[in-house]
C-alpha cells in the first residue's frame, strides 16, 4: 500500500487513525522506511531504533506539542503538511519588501536531500544535456567562475496559493494567501548556461531533475520533474540561483542550486537541481502530465468532471495583491478616524499598474500609492490612508490591476485542482463605540 503524498502525520491521525496506521506502518505493522524518513525530517534528527517502532506509536516529540511541527529556521509559518513539508506565511508576516529566509513559504514534493543538510558539494554536479551541441557537467565553482553572477528581487508563488477558498474543496495543500515570497536571489542566468551548451533549433522545452527523494523511498521515482518553454528559460531573470538573501540557499529552499523562474508557478523553479534535459517536445516528467499544475481550457461549473485532455499547463501567474498591514482583526480605539493600510502586488509576466482599496464592500474604491518595482518580477509596495467615518465593523479590500488592464475579481471560477486563485484579499478592522 502506498502513501498519499498530500497527507502528513497530523492530518492522517486526526482524520482516520486506523487508516493512518495502515498507510504509515504498512502490513508488517512496523514503521516503513519512507515514513521513518519523514518523521526524521520533521524531528530534525535521525531515529536510530525507528525500525522497531510498533504500529500507532508516534514519537512523543510529535505528540506533545504543536511546536514539534515548527520547521527549523522558520519564524511564524503555518505548517500545512509534514510529509512532504509544506508551510505558508501569515499575511501580516509578509510586510517586508524583501521576504526574509525565515518567513518565505515552503512547498516540497519529496524528502529534502541529505546534501542540503550536510552542505557538502564536493561531488555535486549539474548536467545540461539533450538538444544541445555540447553537453555540460558543471560544479558549483564552475557556475560561479564561468558565468556572470546577478542578483534580483523575485517573487515566487505556489500555483495552489488560495486553494483553501474553493468550494467544493479542491484536493491538495489548503493554502490560504501565504504561499508567496519575494526574496533577493543571486545566481547566474540560465540562458547563459544554455548558450554555453549550444541550444539546437529543435529545442522546445526543458525538463528539470532534482536530488529530493520520492515519498515512497524509491530512488527510481522522481518526486517532481517539471520544466518550461525555452523562451521562458532564456528570459534574463530566470536564474540558476545559489544564494537567497545573501546566504547560501537554505536546505528547504534548494541547496546548493535551484531554478528561479519568476512570475510562473513555483513548481517550475525546481529545487536541489542536478540535471537540465533540453527536449524537442513538452516535458512529460513527474507532475507535468495529467491534471498537475494544469487548469481546464474553458470555464467549468463547481464540481464538474473535466477530461484530462482538456487541461492546459499553467504558465504566467495572474495579477494579485496582499494586505500585510494591519493584521486582520485589528481593534481600534473609539474616535479613530483613519488607518494606514499597506501591502504588495504582483502580476506574473506583467507589471502592476494600479492598486485600489475599498472600505465599503466594493461600493467605492480609493487609489493607493503604488511604488515601482526594483526590477521586473519583483512585487510592488503599495500603501493608503483609509478613512473610517465612525465606530463599527469594516472590511478593507485590495484590488490590483496590471498593465494589460486585468484586475483581481471578487471571486474566481472554480477549477478541479484549486489553482490560480487571485481573488481580492480582505481584512477586518473594528472601531470601538
Superfamily of domain 101-313: Oxidoreductase, molybdopterin-binding domain (3.90.420.10)
- Predicted pLDDT at 291: 95
Q: Which among 112, 111, 117 has a CA at the least distance from the CA of 215?
A: 111
- pLDDT higher at 13 or 272: 272
Q: Enter the pTM of the model.
A: 0.85
Tell me the mean pLDDT in the region 245-267. Answer: 98
- Predicted pLDDT at 362: 93
* Enclosing H/E stretch for 387: strand 380-387
CB atoms within 10 A of CB 102: 15
pLDDT bucket at 352, cuts 50 / 70 / 90: very high
Task: Considering the chain, tell me which residue range(s) the CATH 2.60.40.650 domain(s) occupy.
Answer: 320-431
Tell me the mean pLDDT in the region 143-157. Answer: 98
Residues 77-90: pLDDT tens digits?
Answer: 988 888 888 999 99
- Predicted pLDDT at 53: 57
Share of the chain above pLDDT 90, in %: 79
Distance (Å) of CA 278 to CA 127, 208, 246, 281, 400:
11, 9, 30, 9, 36
Q: Examine the pLDDT at 173 and tell me if it is beyond 70.
A: yes
- Predicted pLDDT at 83: 80
Q: Please state, in angstroms and rounded to a whole number, the distance separating the CA atoms of residues 37 and 39.
A: 5
Q: Give ∠ CA 116-118-119 in degrees, rounded to 5.
A: 65
Which residue is associated with the grid cell 493607493?
368
End-to-end CA distance of the chain: 59
Pairing of strands 369-370, 311-313: unpaired
Q: Please state, in angstroms and rounded to a whole number, the distance separating the CA atoms of residues 244 and 70.
A: 21
Q: Which fold has domain 320-431?
A: Immunoglobulin-like (2.60.40)
Task: Considering the chain, tell me which residue range(s) the CATH 3.90.420.10 domain(s) occupy.
Answer: 101-313
Q: Examine the pLDDT at 415 and tell me if it is beyond 80.
A: yes
pLDDT bucket at 65, cuts 50 / 70 / 90: very low
Q: Which residues pair with 207 in a beta bridge?
A: 277
pLDDT bucket at 72, cuts 50 / 70 / 90: confident
Q: Examine the pLDDT at 247 and tell me if it is beyond 90.
A: yes
Distance (Å) of CA 339 to CA 226, 322, 383, 426:
44, 16, 11, 15
Q: Examine the pLDDT at 258 and tell me if it is beyond 70.
A: yes
- Predicted pLDDT at 383: 98
- Predicted pLDDT at 3: 39
202's grid cell: 529543435
Of 56-70, 75-89, 253-267, minimum mean pLDDT range: 56-70
432's grid cell: 470601538
Tell me the mean pLDDT in the region 383-401. Answer: 96
pLDDT bucket at 217, cuts 50 / 70 / 90: confident
CA 190 to chain centre: 20
Share of the chain above pLDDT 70, in %: 84
Amino acid at each position: 500500500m502506498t502513501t498519499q503524498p498530500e497527507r502528513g502525520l497530523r492530518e492522517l491521525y486526526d482524520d482516520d487513525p486506523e487508516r493512518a496506521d495502515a498507510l504509515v506502518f504498512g502490513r508488517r505493522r512496523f514503521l516503513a522506511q519512507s515514513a521513518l524518513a519523514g518523521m526524521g525530517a520533521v524531528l530534525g534528527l535521525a531515529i536510530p531504533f525507528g525500525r522497531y517502532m510498533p504500529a500507532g506509536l508516534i514519537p512523543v516529540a510529535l505528540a506533545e506539542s504543536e511546536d514539534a511541527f515548527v520547521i527549523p529556521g522558520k519564524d511564524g509559518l503555518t505548517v500545512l503538511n509534514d510529509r512532504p513539508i509544506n508551510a505558508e506565511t501569515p499575511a501580516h508576516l509578509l510586510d517586508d519588501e524583501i521576504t526574509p529566509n525565515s518567513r518565505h513559504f515552503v512547498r516540497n514534493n519529496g524528502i529534502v536531500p541529505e546534501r542540503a543538510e550536510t552542505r557538502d558539494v564536493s561531488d555535486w554536479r549539474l548536467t545540461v544535456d539533450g538538444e544541445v551541441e555540447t553537453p555540460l557537467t558543471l560544479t558549483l565553482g564552475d557556475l560561479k567562475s564561468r558565468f556572470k553572477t546577478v542578483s534580483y528581487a523575485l517573487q515566487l508563488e505556489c500555483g495552489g496559493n488560495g486553494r483553501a477558498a474553493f468550494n467544493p474543496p479542491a484536493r491538495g495543500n489548503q493554502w490560504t494567501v501565504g504561499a508567496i515570497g519575494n526574496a533577493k536571489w543571486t545566481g547566474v542566468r540560465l540562458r547563459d548556461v544554455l548558450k554555453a551548451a549550444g541550444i539546437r533549433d529543435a529545442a522546445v522545452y526543458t525538463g528539470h531533475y532534482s536530488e529530493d527523494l520520492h515519498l515512497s523511498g524509491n530512488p527510481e521515482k522522481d518526486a517532481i520533474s517539471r520544466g518550461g518553454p525555452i523562451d521562458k528559460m532564456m528570459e534574463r531573470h530566470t536564474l540558476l540561483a545559489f544564494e537567497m538573501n545573501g546566504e547560501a540557499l537554505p536546505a528547504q529552499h534548494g541547496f546548493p542550486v535551484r531554478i528561479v523562474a519568476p512570475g510562473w508557478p513555483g513548481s517550475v523553479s525546481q529545487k536541489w537541481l542536478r540535471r537540465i534535459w533540453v527536449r524537442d517536445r513538452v516535458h512529460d516528467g513527474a507532475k507535468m502530465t495529467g491534471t498537475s499544475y494544469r487548469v481546464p481550457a474553458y470555464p467549468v461549473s463547481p464540481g464538474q468532471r473535466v477530461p484530462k485532455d482538456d487541461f492546459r499547463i499553467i504558465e504566467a501567474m495572474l495579477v494579485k495583491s496582499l494586505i500585510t498591514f494591519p493584521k486582520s482583526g485589528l481593534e481600534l480605539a473609539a474616535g479613530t478616524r483613519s488607518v494606514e493600510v499597506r501591502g504588495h502586488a504582483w502580476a506574473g509576466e506583467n507589471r502592476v499598474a494600479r492598486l485600489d482599496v475599498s472600505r465599503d464592500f466594493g461600493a467605492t474604491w480609493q487609489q493607493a500609492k503604488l511604488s515601482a518595482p526594483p526590477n521586473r518580477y519583483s512585487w510592488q509596495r503599495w500603501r493608503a490612508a483609509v478613512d473610517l467615518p465612525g465606530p463599527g465593523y469594516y472590511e478593507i479590500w485590495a484590488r490590483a490591476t496590471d498593465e494589460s488592464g486585468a484586475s483581481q475579481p471578487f471571486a474566481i471560477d472554480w477549477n478541479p485542482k484549486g489553482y490560480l486563485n487571485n481573488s481580492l484579499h480582505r481584512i477586518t478592522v473594528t472601531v470601538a463605540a
